[in-house]
Chain A
Amino acid sequence: MSDIDPSIGLYVEETRELLGELERGLLELESNPGDTERVDACFRAMHTIKGGGAMFGFDEISRFTHDVETVLDRVRSGELPITRELLSLTLAAKDHILVLLEAPRDTAVDELRQASDVLLAAFAAYLPNGTAGHAQPALDQPAAGAATDDNPYACPAQSGPPGIYWVRLRPSATMLHTGNDPVRLLAELDTLGMVRVLRHGPLPALDDSDYDPEAVYGVFDLLVCTPCSAESLRDVFIFVEGDSEVSLTRIHTGLLRGSDLDELLATLVGQDEATIDAAQQRLEAHVAAKVAAIDVAKKKVQARTGPTEGEPAARPQPTAAATLRVDAGRLDSLVSMVGELVILQSRLRQAAKAKDIDAVAEVDEDLERLTDTLRDVALGLRMLPIGSVFSQFTRLTRDLSASLGKEVEFVAVGGETELDKTVIDRMKDPLVHLLRNSLDHGLEPPQERLANGKPACGRITLSAMHSAGNVVIVIADDGRGIDLSVVRRKAMERGLIAPDAEPTEKELFDCIFKPGFSTAATVSDVSGRGVGMDVVKRNIEALRGTVELESVLGQGARVTIRLPLTLAIIDGFNVMVGGDSYIVPLANLRGFQERFVNEVVRTVETLERMGELVPVVSLRRLFAVPGQQPVYERVVITETEGETVGFCVDRVIGRQQAVIKSLDDCYRHLKWISGTTINGDGSISLILDVPQLVRFVRSREETRLQATDPSRTLVQ
């Protein structure tokens, strides 16, 4: 397994991204066919996919994309108009490439090729006459031949992984006099791999009397990602090496993405006077940082692409990308902070040697500051714009609305809103579910809409924004809305509310999220899938988020989801009960009160707060904390889902930012602990999941009350 070329993993990853871009581009072309930039972008994506496919042995992708690329090229040059049919076909091609990409190689080849051929036959109609034959039905072709024919680079491919070379060319001023032209040399180099060029260095002003129009100025720094050997690159410069300065260095073995090369090259800007060694060090440092940053991710990709050379495995489902794109600026600041850390460490060593307590204290202060920043930056690395998920929904709504015979305009706003990657990944399914709900049950068919005086085309808006330390995601539609009288009837039928109850609107909407609110044939659920809104709610709550539903009958529905920015850190108050230490998340905290205890304490009692009686829970009793019951207790007032509950503790230590460490799986039945955190002194605190804790207390109370005294209860 270990000899699998990690660059294949990167190709897979990059292609996946490109396919995403392609899909976005195609969908935008649908609404704006005149956007030539989009056409270009789509063409470029396809071109890159094809080139990489040949380079990394994805022969079928390379073969398949050839004609698709040709068709896109014709669209680009204006030979072909953009039609809905063509867009649908290209979208299908995009899906097919993804299948080819994810398929374990050497398995079910024939089947996949047949699928390719079916699509290619459709594309043939768009090819210029007489060229439709390029992609011969693949089944007749020896599979191995395809790769060499399509080797995109003008050199014999080396065995082994491709390399990245840094080439610096400082042409002699008189190079042109010997009949050489840097442009020609660089054009030749361009045929040997993926090349990024930086031209920098001095150039006199046009009106400068020193300007020699026949001289060559400046320095060319190039990064070449190529399977070719260093010799074949060096051969390009064979005639100029005498006069001009040429250096060629392999700075990395394996592949980096084009965007990575751009970033690397950018580090050389203004370094035209730097010595080769200095510039090389600079490059290598950045390569190392880059490689380190993608290393973990790479391993994951590698693990997934593992079966490529081993035994055939079951065809994997397309999975969420396991790699993370990180803003270069963030990475740079991380690298520079690590540098600071090294300096601090040596300062600490000196101070310790000299037994200089003051110096140690100073280092400690600096370290504290650095640690704080480092933590923020490190967490920032996990933040991604939620737009990556939104764009997938554009496709989903397009396809789904077509199959449902509905017209819908899907609007996504706030895609740049950043959110923890884990949260994004885990929000995708609930969001898909909510969108399907809106489409399937919210929006009316066009005739019905027209009859109700609405435009035939429905509208679904998905928006995201930051608000008070949370991310708020709203899905709104202008459909028929939710009929509360139906909800009420169903809720009563299912015993979710008492037959004589007078539930408020909010309580009725809450019913929809309850388990047992039948999923099929009700007002707002996707029929036939057996999915309940309770699952959506649970998923969101598992992310420490909340979800709310609003609707005006006849005008539409709106789901509001609030999520914390990150799952890794929680802001809360540290409280003590006996020797136990707990963290109450700030999100649930509403205040502190106190109480004096003089008789026997029950687990749940009530306390007056602002003129109302709220239930209070003795954590000491609930958790059977050993030790003496104190006479004076602090009460931590919390609120979840509109319900106020107090928790009695011995002491409130203070506010604390807790880095969440998950608890071992063997404690998974304790749902009311969301994790642990290690305190400064090495001790451990348990982080309370207040909604779960309230739920737990309530169910205990209910169990107990069924048997005994009905007078004390938590207000529902």
Chain B
Amino acid sequence: MSEQPSFTLDGRRIPFRDGQTVMAAALAAGVYIPHLCFNPEFAPHGSCRVCLVKVNGRVQAACTTPAAAGQLVQSEIEELREIRRGILQMLFVEGNHVCPACEKSGACQLQAVAYYVGMLAPHYTHFYPRRSVDASHPEAVIDFNRCILCELCVRASREVDGKNIFAVRGRGINARLVVNTPSGKLGATDFSVGDKAAQVCPTGAILLKHHGYEIPIGQRLYDRKPINVVGDVAQLSESRGGRRHD
């Protein structure tokens, strides 16, 4: 019997199965590579670019790069941390992210990854786009100011819920999340809090009504331990401070 193939990630041997990506194999081996648009329950998207690693010297997204035997993968090196910080800073200035005023602060993947990569300030000039808040739905609010275009709600609604409620429209810096109804209002859809789409947002863009501040600041998911230890908010159950329904 031959040994399972493996690659090296920051000096550590990571076994993989045929067809696995660098990200999937690392995750299975319990090694954290920061990410936002990646969620193990969905096909890789490759758009946020936070999970960039060096594969045999070349910068590539870990979530879309197929694992191959003998690959030399680097992740926790200063060169990549600097790039990741830059990408996080871009996401922060592109939208309107006011952490102290956000219900998700402390249990927000965007915020937790920013801390993880060592981002202390947005650095770039804020775009301050004019975006809206949609509170038309009885049970949920969408705050478009906080959307980072990861398309996880789009994918979850289409692939898991079978509802196709969300879409990303427009081009370039004008790309934006929309609700797929003539009015563009969530209240006009059959969106429900039990939907997968309600559980996957890595930011505070999709929030449930009537559940504000149930867990006090200071006791939230990432308040005591960093995301590489705790894991993604979308992968953790509500009872553990995550978004996932049990």
Instruction: Note whether A and B form a binding pair.
Output: no
